[in-house]
Amino acid sequence: MWPSAVAVGVGSVLWYSTYVNSCLLAAIIAAVYVSAGGSLTLWQVYRTFPRDCKALGRFIKLQLFLRRVKRKNLSVPKVFQEVVQQNKGKVAFYFEDQKWTFDEVEEYSNQVANYFAGHGVQHGDSVALLMENRVEYICMWLGLTKLGAVPALVNFNLREDPLVHCIKVASCKLIVCGAELQEALCDIKDREAVADLPVYVSGAGKDSLKCPGAIDLDAGLASAATSSPPQIDNVNFGDDMVFIYTSGTTGLPKAAIIKHSRAFFAAAGMGTMIGLTPSDIVYDPLPLYHTTGGIIGVGQALFLGSPVAIRRKFSATQYWNDCIKYGCTAAQYIGEMCRYLLNIPRKPEDTKHQIRMMFGNGLRPNIWKEFESTFNIPTICEFYGSTEGNANIINIDGKPGAVGFVSVLFPAVYPVALIKVDEETKQVVRDENGLCLRCKPGEAGEFIGKIVKNDPVRDFHGYADKTASSKKVVRDVFAKGDSAFLSGQCSFVQGQKC
């Protein structure tokens, strides 16, 4: 009799619990429906409720993290020190056949900071960083930020005038150059904007320096202290962290200001919203001078404690081999990378990896499902946004073709929208009161994010060029006096995608 009684009792409890949860869910859906003034159908609420609640929970977790680092006025290197203490002896970065532990990255970046502090680098100084992908590159910019200096992450493919422009526009005081890029620097060393700047070369050795007057950085770092520099305590949450350059598709590259607060939002935001954990190993074959690879990808190690495997340059033929080699469980992509992977001949390694998730932007909808099935990828999290902007959205549930969503249930939590733009003049369309008009589902428009000053999520920090900054802001959006960042043009299906 006892087992049967237990079974009946447990069954009753489970039934009652299910009944209560169902009633609670119905009550919440009804409340959301009423609060929306009946503008949403019950079907819309039902379809989007699970996704929006999952997103809300993760967004709250992100906000708690951001509030903590803001309240304690923590910088990126300060948070990394916390992560190091929690992950002593654990691998932080894989590169080729190298393994760098969290402790080793901390010590090397401390040497960078102490060395350059001894050579006059101060809080607010800009330093041009011209190196190909490798772990030392990460340590260089991380070490410089411990002084409050602002590394300018220069695209290593640039030559001649565009290279000079990038160094000049960021008002760099010195240049750190990888040995493999010395010739590119030597070609411009007689230019007025560059001629008087000290050059420090990494990875060359004393006998392999090519630029006249260049300094062997490796020799200097070897004798630098591995202890944390005292200047780190004067680096603030709201300080400029790095300059990252836009692609320059409409002219010369613009130096976008990335503050410590923005880096936290970009990297921790991505990891939190898509559900990465410290047990994941992330494959990041992207250029480290761009936000996606250099901040979002690398940031999973710096802020979350997830090991990251980097590569000198992307290789379609070695992509899955690398994922297998390093035991990666998550991987990044960008632009046409997925198409390149599909276009090469199939091989057994294509599906022998452990990847549970890929994330990035630029995956074309017409190859999405083919890519998933060909390479056995359970979830693809596409996102939309820009280096410098505050209008960023993520497809957290892997819906094919979607680059993110605008919540129809909790729109005030993350204030982004699509506004109407004249197709011929490309100017914002306004109503009789001078305010912007929201797009209807299916309409193309300009994607915007509300600007809230001093907020790590909502602020827009602009470019080194103030004129370029002003062109990306629209005012009097939905109320007189408000402002928003202009991200780009797209269209959306309500509650589903942009």
Secondary structure of 288-336 in the HEC alphabet? CCCHHHHHHHHHHHHHHCCCEEECCCCCCCCHHHHHHHHCCCEEEEECC
- Lowest average pLDDT, out of 137-141, 206-210, 353-357, goes to 206-210
Q: So what's the pLDDT on residue 10?
A: 35
Q: CA torsion 10→14→16→21, rounded to 10°?
A: 160
pLDDT at site 42: 67
Q: Which two tokens stand for residue 488?
A: 């780009």
Q: How far apart are the first and last CA of the chain?
A: 59
Position 211 scores a pLDDT of: 87
- Residues of the chain with pLDDT > 70, as a percent, come to 88
Helix (H) or strand (E) holding 72: none
Backbone φ and ψ of 433, nearest 5°: -95, 5
pLDDT for the residue 423: 84
Q: How much is the pLDDT for 452?
A: 86
For 172, 174, 342, the CA distances from 149, given in Å and listed in that order, are: 10, 11, 42
- The kind and range of the H/E element at 361 are strand 357-361
DSSP summary character for residue 252:
S
pTM of the model: 0.87
- Residue 3: pLDDT band (50, 70, 90) is very low
What does each C-alpha distance from 103 to 85, 226, 228 come to in angstroms? 8, 10, 12
Q: Tell me which of 373 and 247 has the higher pLDDT.
A: 373
Q: How far apart are CA 134 and CA 98, in angstroms?
A: 10
**Helices marked H in 328-385:** 337-343, 365-375
Over 60: is that where the pLDDT of 174 sits?
A: yes
